[in-house]
Structure 1
């Protein structure tokens, strides 16, 4: 494999990788700014799909400005050889750890991250898009406690028919699995499933194998947090479990409704200040 190269950038160090992509900490040669650069190269088994996703990511989100959404800077296409090329997405560099690696969190932290992410997704919804792939791995937490959504590859127009199964199985809503109508309530489920995992360490979904064998299988949360020896305020548990209902009509109807309930919950979970 050739050494990684992106025109206009000095690649400093590898900071992440996935199926067919790599993410580098990089310096923009002209401005000196430190950014993150995600590279997708043709030739991997997933390259065609990843090319579509990274192009969609930039097209949809490059003008968004929200404190809890990573800023996208530019899309760079480089031809490495006559028969080989790559696409790179330059974005804001976020020092921090994935939400999935945060360890045990307090109820106040859970409610705070939940509210930050809900506000970011509400911003997206007001601009006509839904995320469709919210999961702990797509969120970075800075040392200051700011949550940042860092991937928009599956974003699509809200209120449309979903023509193919897309998303991450453990966090997908039933309408994603069964190629149904997707809207704000789909993101409400994805975010609720993310917080369920953060609180309990478990998935709201059945196993992938079982769901593929049974076309009518839907996620059912059969255990309360108390039965799993997890202590969170009842109002927070109620919001998470309602957000993970199989039927969209039984979930909060919009992300704004989620935010309003979280505002009340956060007011009761703040850590007391020492006087």
Structure 2
């Protein structure tokens, strides 16, 4: 295992331990609202602090981009952290959330870790070395099209600017699949596509810490990820993306394209 990835795994596991302890004491949690339907708990903050402490003990000069703490430092290596992706699930006792850590080197994502503490699952990937779930190599599904497929997504729940376009996509895709799942953790959705549990996925308005680790996992598992019109870049900036194996990616893009507007294909956050 690459030394950077090894530190990321250690940090993710420690953060997962904090989350599991707190999950058994949910009634005592302090919950703050950052904006409408956007919550943060002391568990999010404690987990992120633990991750940063472990990273900076090993690599004191490296930069951090965290969901709670924002940008810390300036270095060619940046750790992109979501200490608890799926906070709303966590608050409600729904055991579907994860720690996500992506590592970007000179602007390119090179390593990723997604840890599901409740299931004891840890997904890891290093560019050029494959993707793994608990040390077992994983691949995207072999689905050949939308028929009989299971697709993940994230419903608009905070920003409804493009709700009409999104619901048009949802109707088009749902009518051709075996089902749509909205589970509440983008990091785990990407990990599930990488491991073949989901055949594809699309969502609007994500943040870099939601998807950084998952991008590496998905690509190393043989998947394709891009913007809603199929463009190969800009989705980290816009937060609008679609992914799956090559055939599923193309099939999803075909259903999505008729519902796009100019804003949804622009490489800037909307």
Question: What TM-score do the two structures reach when normalised by structure 2?
Answer: 0.33
Q: Which gives a bigger RCO, structure 1 or 2 (Cα 8 Å, sep 6+)?
A: 2
TM-score by length of 1: 0.33
Name the larger-Rg structure: 1
More strand by share: 2
